[in-house]
Amino acid sequence: MTKNKFFNYLSLFWVIVILSQVLRHNYGIIYLSIFLLFLIVNIYIIFNSGFVFTATSYLSLQLWIFYILLIYISGVTFFYGGLSEFLTALPRMCLMPITAIFLYNFIFERNQFYVILNIYLIFGLIAAFSLIYQVYFGALDFLVPTQERQNLERYATTSGSLTAYGGTVGILLMVLVLHNKIKNSLLIFLGITLFSITGVVTLAKAGLMNVIIFLFFVIFFIRLKKKFYYLFFSIVAFFLVLEFSPEIQIYVNAAIKGLYLGTDQYQVASFEVQAIDRISRSIPKLAEHSIWNNFFGFGLIGGQGAFGLPFSESGTTHNSYTEYFNIGGVFLFINIMSLMICLMVKLNKLKKKDDLASLFFYCNLIAIINMFFFNGFIYQPTSSFVFWLSMVYVLYNEKNLNEKNL
């Protein structure tokens, strides 16, 4: 086996391990043993024969600053939250940044990105089917416990938390239609139908809105052969499912009612109310903190999915941009904004002649919109996976360009 082929297998196995993180709850010993094995092997190989990356561009410089800020955030977390919060936060904030380093070292061919995206889609399909299964047969024991919303059981998926799939489904849809190696029209049509239905059934407002955002970009901005064919038959299939599946219809109706202006009888704020609230309350919330805390942050202290501050103090931010101030102060906020702007500029330059760059550009565009209403984005494996992979792709292109210029 050649070195490159071995590295390719390592990259694929690592992607499978991190996307299987839902297994850590009920199969912790087995999962963590496999996770630690690949973690140690990957780190050992990189230290012995690998090459992290050098700060040869503004993007790579900002990425290095992000890694340095991880050390800073670890210290702040320990200062404010103690050892317990530090040990909880460390794996959450390091998993995906370390994944980017592994993939950068283990990817040598462009085709590897397509294969990794295939694996990502497969895990997306598993998550979608896990949701459909629960609607018909009840909750799966190894997933996150259910909650009630609009008098219905709200189910998690194999993607992770109750909100994870809703914040990811738009990216899954975009990967499906822009993946240049997927040529089967029937597969694309069925995938759009499945992801669209499950995005709504999850009862997360982000799920329904991600489907709508996806449709908006595909109709008005993306050049795609047979796109109206896919959309027409997917919409027809969607309504046929509603007609012949009362279980799905109940969830879809509840999700649509949740978008009405105001609050419903269950006191669940509608999309309009939540959208305005999550954007408008960000600055007043920051104003409640001291200048010191806004400047330096509180660290990555989490409660009920709210990073940055304990839930008892701030509640869930539902806004990643505010969250960066809470976690790392002005340093992390400026760093993340710089990373994203630079990444999008690079992808925009490449996307006219590069299908992968186009895929990553539109996936990240959906992510940027999601981050106004979704917290924990860059740390959650399924939601941030394409973001970190796109970072690796741009660094991969920069490395190839530099080698050609030598």
Alpha-helical (H) ranges within 227-353 are 227-244, 246-257, 271-280, 282-288, 291-296, 311-314, 320-350
Answer whether 55's CB lies under 8 Å from 64's CB. yes
- Per-residue pLDDT at 53: 66
pLDDT tens readout for residues 15-31: 999 999 888 888 889 99
Largest CA-CA distance found in the chain, in angstroms, rounded = 67
Is residue 216 scored above 60 in pLDDT?
yes
Mean pLDDT, rounded, for 98-127: 94
What integer best gives the mean pLDDT of the chain? 84
Handedness of CA 171, 177, 179, 181 (dihedral sign): positive
User: Among the ranges 140-144, 246-250, 400-404, which has the highest mean pLDDT value?
Assistant: 246-250
Residue-wise pLDDT tens digits, 321-344: 878 877 888 899 999 999 999 999
Q: Say what percent of the chain tops pLDDT 90.
A: 45
Give the integer Cα–Cα distance in Å for 91 and 50.
Answer: 22
pLDDT (0 to 100) of residue 18: 95
Helix (H) or strand (E) holding 263: none
Question: What does the alpha-carbon distance between residue 162 and residue 279 come to, in Å, rounded to a whole number?
Answer: 22
Is the pLDDT reported for residue 399 higher than 50?
yes
Lowest mean pLDDT, pick from 5-9, 136-140, 239-243, 369-373: 369-373
- The predicted model gives 211-217 an average pLDDT of 92
Looking at the predicted structure, is the pLDDT value of residue 174 above 90?
yes
Q: What is the C-alpha to C-alpha distance for residues 103 and 125, in angstroms, rounded to an integer?
A: 23
Give the tens place of pLDDT for each residue, 36-70.
999 999 999 988 876 676 767 889 899 999 999 99
pLDDT bucket at 112, cuts 50 / 70 / 90: very high
Q: Which residue has the higher pLDDT, 386 or 82?
A: 386
Residue 304 confidence (pLDDT): 38
Mean predicted confidence (pLDDT) in 185-199: 94
User: Is the per-residue pLDDT at 78 higher than 70?
Assistant: yes
Percent of the chain's residues with pLDDT above 70: 84
Residue 360 confidence (pLDDT) above 90? yes
What pTM was estimated for this model as a whole?
Answer: 0.90
Q: Measured between alpha carbons, how far is 318 from 199 in angstroms, rounded to an integer?
A: 18
255/248 Cα distance (integer angstroms): 11
